[in-house]
Structure 1
Amino acid sequence: MKLLLFDVDQTLIHTGGAGLRALDRACRKHLAIENATHGITAHGKTDPAIVREILLARVGSDSTLEIQLQSILESYLSFLREEVQSSPGYRVLPGIVEILQEMSARTGVVLGLATGNVELGARIKLDRGNLNSYFMFGGFGSDSENRTTLVKKAAEAAAQKCGCPIEPEEIFVIGDTPRDIEAGRAAGFRTVGVATGHYSVEQLFAAGAHVAIPDFQQGRDRFLQAAF
């Protein structure tokens, strides 16, 4: 049994900045701060960790931080669906539909998510691209702010679904950032870097990726050779 765990943003889809716009709107509502995400690097971080970083940078730490964090995340989700649906830059990335169709039809392969998005946020983002049906489970930012922990949770969910443990060497964590690669390796799994985000193939290899490809259109054969 092989388990393929996909990141969402810049790996499966590109939202055209919808997530950051929704988060800015949520911060404007709760903190009365414009452009709260300016200067915050979100790549590969979990949603709760991003909001925590914004709060610490813009407001500072106090006893209400956790309450503020949850309130901002709730508002973010309410704005996100609108931003995703109206985003002119939204697209499913090259080769994704084809590889998901091929892998979901293949015996002995299970697909899941391993993403820093909170679960509802991930589902909203994937819905416009009609990709949710490929992923029945996953590990999410709503499971843990720690990326390695949520990757492990995704693997546990897969084992529960399959009714049997999956060997670590048969689990592939697929993502576009060094944080995806580092989390997968820390969990003891194999890693696939996809250079459809802000990092090159070379940078993903440098982060420790077992395999790195430009995208799933150009890199399909290389990925299949490594995984199968």
Structure 2
Amino acid sequence: MQKELLVLIDIDGTLLSPGLSPRIALSRAIRDFTGSVIEFEIKHLAGLTDPLIVKNALLSLGFSEAKVRDNGFVDKILERYCRYLKEIYPCSDDKHVFPDVPDFLRFLSELPMVRLGIITGNIRDGAFVKLSAFGLDRFFSFGVYGSDSEDRNELPLIALRRVRILFNEEYSRDRVIIIGDTHRDVVSAKVHGMKSIAVVRRVEWLRKIEESDPDLIVKDFSEIERVRDFFRTVNIL
């Protein structure tokens, strides 16, 4: 049955804090192929896709543009990253789901006219590792990932094509809501005429988020009544 609204949610910083293990896994993978060690900071990662993060890292190490554009090389690094992530993520003790997330996802999943999906810069296998560690994958019927495109702004259009193929559903762009924690999430919605909700997990990012002009800003998902009010404006509640 055709649903009325497509809601796409980011993972890192929005649903959960992955801790340091993904950075460690990626640093190890890059070291394996380059012999160099990179210390990733959050500013190198937030809102970017995994392939773009790797390409930026390779450029910073002095690799040529031609080598960086070699997707086969980048893919090998990301495959190794996933192997390390599967080993160390389940037993890491600094990852956690934000406490407001379970109730928020239950609220969304109980809306019969909403199709709920993932939109993330993580490659597909990495996204599954992170979500499944907390059982969050059960809330989502599909996803679009950094492995679909290194350009985050392309992911919303890929999502529209994917729901058409998987569920035979069509959504106009004003019936899509993207939820994330960075200004890049907001921009990826606005460039396509889609709606956005920004959750401010880091107060230092508030200014950039405000400048990107999302349709709704919340400090976290415990502000469920404000989210309900927003959904009423799109005739879902």
Give the structure-1-normalised TM-score.
Answer: 0.92
**Identity of counterpart residues, as a percentage?**
29
**Corresponding residue SS for 2:138:** helix
Inter-partner Cα distance in structure 2 for 1:39 and 1:226: 30
Tell me if structure 2 keeps the 8 A contact 1:36–1:58.
no
Equivalent residue number for residue 235 of structure 2:
none
Compared CA separation, residues 161 and 70, structure 1 to 2 (3 A): closer
Aligned residues: 227
Inter-partner Cα distance in structure 1 for 2:204 and 2:159: 24
The ranges of structure 1 where at least 4 consecutive aligned residues each deviate by more than 6 angstroms after the TM superposition are none
**Corresponding residue SS for 1:209:** coil
Inter-partner Cα distance in structure 2 for 1:202 and 1:39: 17
**Residue 41 (structure 1) aligned with residue 49 (structure 2):** no
Inter-partner Cα distance in structure 1 for 2:41 and 2:109: 39
Compared CA separation, residues 4 and 38, structure 1 to 2 (3 A): closer
**Residue 165 (structure 1) aligned with residue 180 (structure 2):** no
Tell me if structure 1 keeps the 8 A contact 2:128–2:137.
yes
**Residues 67-78 of structure 1 aligned to structure 2 (within 5 Å):** 67-78=72-83
- Structure 1 regions of 5+ residues with no counterpart? none
CA offset at residue 4 of structure 1?
Answer: 0.9
Inter-partner Cα distance in structure 2 for 1:42 and 1:200: 14
CA offset at residue 198 of structure 1?
Answer: 6.3
**Residues 87-106 of structure 1 aligned to structure 2 (within 5 Å):** 87-106=92-111
Tell me if structure 1 keeps the 8 A contact 2:189–2:196.
yes
Inter-partner Cα distance in structure 2 for 1:201 and 1:37: 22
CA offset at residue 36 of structure 1?
Answer: 4.7
**Corresponding residue SS for 1:10:** coil
Compared CA separation, residues 177 and 127, structure 1 to 2 (3 A): same
Render the CA deviation track for 1:1-38: whole Å, top value 9, x for unaligned. 11110001010111112211110111121111123536
**Residues 128-147 of structure 1 aligned to structure 2 (within 5 Å):** 128-147=133-152
Tell me if structure 1 keeps the 8 A contact 2:9–2:179.
yes
Compared CA separation, residues 37 and 68, structure 1 to 2 (3 A): farther
Equivalent residue number for residue 53 of structure 2:
50
Return the match for 1:204 from 197, 200, 209: 209
**Residue 153 (structure 1) aligned with residue 158 (structure 2):** yes
Give the structure-2-normalised TM-score.
Answer: 0.89
Tell me if structure 1 keeps the 8 A contact 2:19–2:95.
yes
- Structure 2 regions of 5+ residues with no counterpart? 233-237
